[in-house]
Amino acid sequence: MLNHFSSRDTLVLQNEINHLPLLIRAAKKRGMRVVFNPSPFDQTILSYPLSQVDVLFVNEIEGNQLLSGATKEERKYSPVQTVQKLTKIYGIPHIIMTLGETGSVVLHDGVIAAEPAIHTNAVDTTGAGDTFTGYYLAGLESFEDHSFTHRLASLAASLTVSRKGAATSIPYLHEVMSHMNLN
């Protein structure tokens, strides 16, 4: 499994794929970066080897579900508290929590950064999360500045929601970069 991949590769998983625990372990065995989005959330996720995940993408609800499942508390925490507690419980060094029209919070190597959403006239929110994730991960590979990557992903998602469609609404990098220069 994953024989064609190496430690230079990233495996991106969502909870719609079979055999997730096996894939996570196999990827880590190959030295790959493992990225996981627990959507759609269900209780089986709590039995996954989450300590082997390098980057976790959650929305606010999923973050609190993961936390409640681990602590058995039904208490809701702030986004910052949630990512701090998740990294402490699961040992995940890089957590991104998307907050919809509010923005997002990133915890990376103990540093927390919030990025407000870039307000736009939302036409269709389909694909916004996937766009954010794709741009964020591409930014991690291409840029050393994590705050730039965070802003890039946020802007790309805001451009996506300003258009109709899913894949057709995802902006090209040159579009996002030209808007970054304007903001």
Band (72; pLDDT cuts 50, 70, 90): confident
Q: At what angle do helices 146-161 and 173-182 cross, to 10 degrees?
A: 100
Report pLDDT for 68.
87
Angle at 38 between CA 37 and CA 39, to 5 degrees: 95
Say whether pLDDT at 180 is over 90: no
Exposure pattern of 43-82 as b/e (b: 16+ CB <10 Å)?
eebeebebebbbbbbbbbebbbbbbebeeeeeeebebeeb
User: Domains of the chain: which residue ranges?
Assistant: 1-117, 118-183
Report pLDDT for 75.
75
Q: Domain 1-117 belongs to what architecture?
A: 3-Layer(aba) Sandwich (3.40)
Segment 92-128, tens digit of pLDDT: 999 999 998 899 999 998 999 999 988 889 899 889 9
